[in-house]
Amino acid sequence: MSDSGGGGQAPADLPLWAETRDAPEPDSGGGSGFRLIGKPQRKVDGLAKATGKAAYTDDISLPGMLHGKILRSPHPHARILSIDASRALALEGVHAVITGRDMPVRYGIIPWTPDEYPLCVERVRYIGDGVAAVAAVDEDTAIRALSRIRVDYQELPACLDPEEALAADGSEERPFIHEPRREGRNGNVTKRVELSFGKVDGRMAGAEVVVEGEYFFEGTTHTPIEPHCAIGRYDENGRLTVWSATQVPHYLHRELASVLGLDPATIRVVQPPVGGAFGGKSEPFDLEFCVARLAMVTGRPVKILYTREEVFYAHRGRHPFHMKYRTGADDEGRLQAVDAEVVLDGGAYASFGLVTTYYAGQLLTAPYAMPAYRFDSTRVYTNKPACGPKRGHGSVQPRFAFEVQLDKLAERLGMDPIELRRVNFMGSDTRTVNELRVTSNGFLECLDAVEKASGWRERFRRLPRGRGLGVAGSCYISGTNYPVYPNEMPQSAIQLQVDRSGRVAVLSGASEIGQGCDSMVAYITAEELGVPLEYVRVLAGDTDFTPVDLGAYSSRITFMLGNACIDAARKLRRKVQEAVAGDWECRPGEVQLAGGWAYYAPDTERRMPIAQAFNLAEARFGTLGATGWYNTPRDNHGDYRGGTIGASPAYSFTAHVAEVEVDVETGVVDVARIWVAHDCGRALNPVLVEGQMEGSVYMGFAEALMEEHIFKTASQGRAGLHNAPSLLDYRIPTSLDTPEIESLIVESIDPEGPYGAKEAGEGPLHSSIPAIANAIYDATGVRMDRLPFSPPNVWKAIRDAGGPRSLKPPRRRAAAPGESAHAGAATAGVG
């Protein structure tokens, strides 16, 4: 780059955000009243990541550090008879070997279902289950040591199929994978939920049209590009530090204390930048316990880095779902009743499964009004890696089935499927049939946006054979109303600290995993305190120094941490305003902080640098700092058992239109383009919101067309062996595979969100998949009710249907945008 600067970009020899520093007017936000919020900004870690300086966990190396490896079970189900590590310990360079007996304490992310040990104690339950761990001078020596550990197993019958798991009786031939918690129960059932709202049978019987369907959603896995990694250090003061690529430092902190029997005040969890997670790092993993224990045993720091193969076996990804749906509607297309039966293939451990089992039903009840709804959801154990939460936890699978059901309903009624969705819109400021409170709801604007952008009205059912358009909608939570362990404390918190230079430090407990939450709190702090963005420093994810935040899961951070940050910043701002007002002899409300200055609002010629304003406040009130926090409202769900699960302070809404081209001879589906409109409340930084939307669409597309997290059966060679545990064989989309994505932001301005914001990181994934399924139908006249829509599956579906067929345009067209009777969301607009 030449010294003369860089054509339109911020050159590095000028301060970044010079325009905000020197901007003369306090409010130049284009009418919004905001200076930073709502506009593209740099990320606080953007350049560190783009220059290779950001230090991820495996980039950390400590003096004297040892390297660990975990020995894994070669059997899908077996009893451990004995473990002999003497030959491993005798190898030069080996410092320690530990087994399950060294940490015989059960744990689990959900306190009601602790069912795993850091290393297996008596039984292994999937190929890959951890059995022993080694610390050695280097990784090569640790790997050699693993081959010298002798484990005697007694193999047990393995169960890979959920139907078979349900048929187990605890006999020798058909053993339970976990012992039943109560006598007489099937130990293979993690959880069963049956909930019913309204008169389902009566309304179904009275429905004009009933669509029945059976669907299968194949398992998929998160595949972050960074493999899991952790480092443990036990120091001379008896303090344990664990660095880990985790999304949940607080929960990890608690579990480490419980499993290791340590006072939590002696444990520090540090979360370095995380190289992708998507739910795959949202509970403790064996390596975190092992590095801690090995560090305690050896007195040396210990690092464990998973191989890519271990990442595939660690999993905790999308559950395979077997689903049956009945959907009844009147002759205008209005939903009358929905009846669902869902079986979740959970793998070997519970993980978040209790929640997944509820989410499989609870999160389907918006954005459409449904007067009657019933679901019967059962999660079963199988001898495969445990499933857990993947982006859109538990609700992506039912959303696929349900949105295809709606498409079938529209076809039966001769209705435009967008119009069918409009007719069923539930509105804003309402309750769902299962009593979840819904506040802002920009779903209709989302439908309008994708309809217009995709040229839907001219093109749906009118494209040449083999090409098609499909639509789908969805909703998702902006955080869960309750933490995974019951408590009344805040879900999220921020501490601010101010230096005499004007520099503001933000201490955030939240987990930056690429979604941009460190940047978000910097934007909010700069906005509220009137400092330039480059004056803000963010220290995050260190349990010794940052306040508790529950973690990066359930799309909770923008909503909760954002509100906590506003709370803290406004407390501090009031002090500064008061101190400056004292100096100027005016009212505190007349002092505005913006762009590096304190202004006298009635006459903005009068101003002082922000550092001077802070100094006045420090002189008056003492050292400047503030804490802010957020907790959820308590009156936003039903009081039935399970009514709290699915409750969220706000819901985001999404609509997709996908355009596909299907080669009916080969079954190859090309997704040409996806239009996605997402109601994120308010886009705090539209570039980051679009990034979340595009990443979500990509991941949904990937699940729709390519990804299969599957295991071999006995007849395929070896039961329980991962079919493709590499990034070559488990295909994720390259730049050449990924469709063009057009993001359309819809802002409904949520009454309780930070500046009106809601989530954007998970919701936009959901409707990708059914939109593609519905587009394949438009292209071929053939329904895809099983995922993935891979060439063999599509080819077979076309063959089974007797070949492709042409479809007629709907008899009832969609109303033009603006014509339909929109309820609510009057402030929403398409940005």
Partner 1 sequence: MAKATTYIVHLRVNGDDYAPGVPSHYTLLETLRYVIGLTGSKQGCDKGDCGACTVILDGEPHLSCITPVLEAEGREIRTVEGLAGAGRPHPVQDAFDLNGAAQCGFCTPGILCSAVALLERNDSPSRTEIREALAGNLCRCTGYTKIYDAVESAAAVLRTETGRVETGE
Restricting to residues 37-66, name those near partner 1 by CB under 8 A: 40, 42-43, 45-56, 58-59, 61
Q: Residue type at 570?
A: R
Is there a cis peptide before residue 367, judged by omega within 30 degrees of 0? yes
| Subset of residues 792 to 811 that bind partner 1, contact rule: CB under 8 A | none
| Nearer to partner 1 (CB atom), residue 2 or residue 623 | 2
CB 172 within 8 A of CB 375: no
| Subset of residues 91 to 150 that bind partner 1, contact rule: CB under 8 A | 91, 140, 144
CB-neighbour burial class of residue 501 (10 A; exposed 0-12, middle 13-18, buried 19+): exposed
| Subset of residues 378 to 397 that bind partner 1, contact rule: CB under 8 A | none
Q: Kindly write down the DSSP assignment for every residue of 748-810, as one continuous string.
A: ---SSSGGG----SSHHHHTHHHHHHHHHHHHHS----BS---HHHHHHHHHHTTS----PPP
Nearest to 373 by CA among 438, 430, 435: 435
CB of 583 to partner 1, least distance (A): 38
CB of 348 to partner 1, least distance (A): 24
Binding to partner 1 by residue 1, rule CB under 8 A? Answer: yes
The CA distance from 729 to 393, in Å, is: 25
| Nearer to partner 1 (CB atom), residue 91 or residue 608 | 91
Q: Which residue has the tokens 């089992």?
A: 357
**Binding span for partner 1 by CB under 8 A among 273-281, 605-613, 633-641, 822-830:** 273-281
| Nearer to partner 1 (CB atom), residue 26 or residue 514 | 514
| Nearer to partner 1 (CB atom), residue 80 or residue 94 | 94
Identify each DSSP E strand in 218-296 by its residue range: 229-234, 240-244, 267-270
The CA distance from 216 to 198, in Å, is: 27
Binding to partner 1 by residue 4, rule CB under 8 A? Answer: yes
Q: What is the DSSP letter of 434?
A: T
CB of 309 to partner 1, least distance (A): 9
| Subset of residues 305 to 364 that bind partner 1, contact rule: CB under 8 A | 305, 307-308
| Subset of residues 674 to 703 that bind partner 1, contact rule: CB under 8 A | 685, 687-688, 690-691, 694-699
Residue 404: strand, helix, or coil: helix
Q: Kindly write down the DSSP assignment for every residue of 144-163, as one continuous string.
A: HHHTT-EEEEEE------HH
Q: How many other C-beta atoms lie within 10 A of the C-beta of residue 744?
A: 20
The CA distance from 23 to 19, in Å, is: 6
* Among the listed residues 171, 735, 808, 818, the single contact to partner 1 using CB under 8 A: 735
- Residue 601 C-beta-side C-alpha neighbours within 13 Å: 11
| Nearer to partner 1 (CB atom), residue 119 or residue 760 | 760
CB 229 within 8 A of CB 290: no
First to last CA, the chain: 34
CB of 144 to partner 1, least distance (A): 6
| Nearer to partner 1 (CB atom), residue 579 or residue 757 | 757
CB of 301 to partner 1, least distance (A): 15
Q: How many other C-beta atoms lie within 10 A of the C-beta of residue 713?
A: 14
CB 547 within 8 A of CB 495: yes
Record the tokens describing residue 168, joined without a space: 């187990």
* Among the listed residues 274, 581, 647, 705, the single contact to partner 1 using CB under 8 A: 274
| Nearer to partner 1 (CB atom), residue 312 or residue 349 | 312
Q: What H or E segment, with its residue span, contains residue 430? A: strand 430-431
- Residue 335 C-beta-side C-alpha neighbours within 13 Å: 33
Q: Count helices and strands (H / E) in the chain.
A: 21, 29
CB of 39 to partner 1, least distance (A): 12
| Nearer to partner 1 (CB atom), residue 11 or residue 466 | 11
* Among the listed residues 82, 623, 715, 734, the single contact to partner 1 using CB under 8 A: 734
Binding residues with partner 1: total (CB under 8 A): 73
CB of 512 to partner 1, least distance (A): 9
| Nearer to partner 1 (CB atom), residue 48 or residue 81 | 48
CB of 314 to partner 1, least distance (A): 15
Is there a cis peptide before residue 284, judged by omega within 30 degrees of 0? no
CB of 31 to partner 1, least distance (A): 24
* Among the listed residues 227, 346, 530, 628, the single contact to partner 1 using CB under 8 A: 227
Binding to partner 1 by residue 583, rule CB under 8 A? Answer: no
| Subset of residues 10 to 39 that bind partner 1, contact rule: CB under 8 A | 10-13
Q: Residue type at 768?
A: S
| Nearer to partner 1 (CB atom), residue 382 or residue 767 | 767
CB of 369 to partner 1, least distance (A): 32
| Nearer to partner 1 (CB atom), residue 72 or residue 144 | 144
**Cα 538 versus chain centre, distance:** 22
CB of 689 to partner 1, least distance (A): 9
CB of 618 to partner 1, least distance (A): 33
**Binding span for partner 1 by CB under 8 A among 106-114, 221-229, 436-444, 451-459:** 221-229
Cα angle vertex 732, ends 317, 381, to 5°?
20
| Nearer to partner 1 (CB atom), residue 445 or residue 707 | 707
CB of 241 to partner 1, least distance (A): 19
The CA distance from 750 to 757, in Å, is: 6
**Binding span for partner 1 by CB under 8 A among 162-170, 521-529, 600-608, 734-742:** 734-742
CB of 698 to partner 1, least distance (A): 3
| Nearer to partner 1 (CB atom), residue 113 or residue 515 | 515
CB of 277 to partner 1, least distance (A): 8
| Subset of residues 743 to 762 that bind partner 1, contact rule: CB under 8 A | 743
| Subset of residues 522 to 551 that bind partner 1, contact rule: CB under 8 A | none
Would you give the binding string for partner 1 spanning residues 703-732, x where CB under 8 A is met? -----------------------xxx---x
The CA distance from 499 to 625, in Å, is: 9
Q: Which residue has the tokens 């600290």?
A: 497
| Subset of residues 275 to 294 that bind partner 1, contact rule: CB under 8 A | 275-278
Residue 135: strand, helix, or coil: strand
CB 229 within 8 A of CB 58: yes
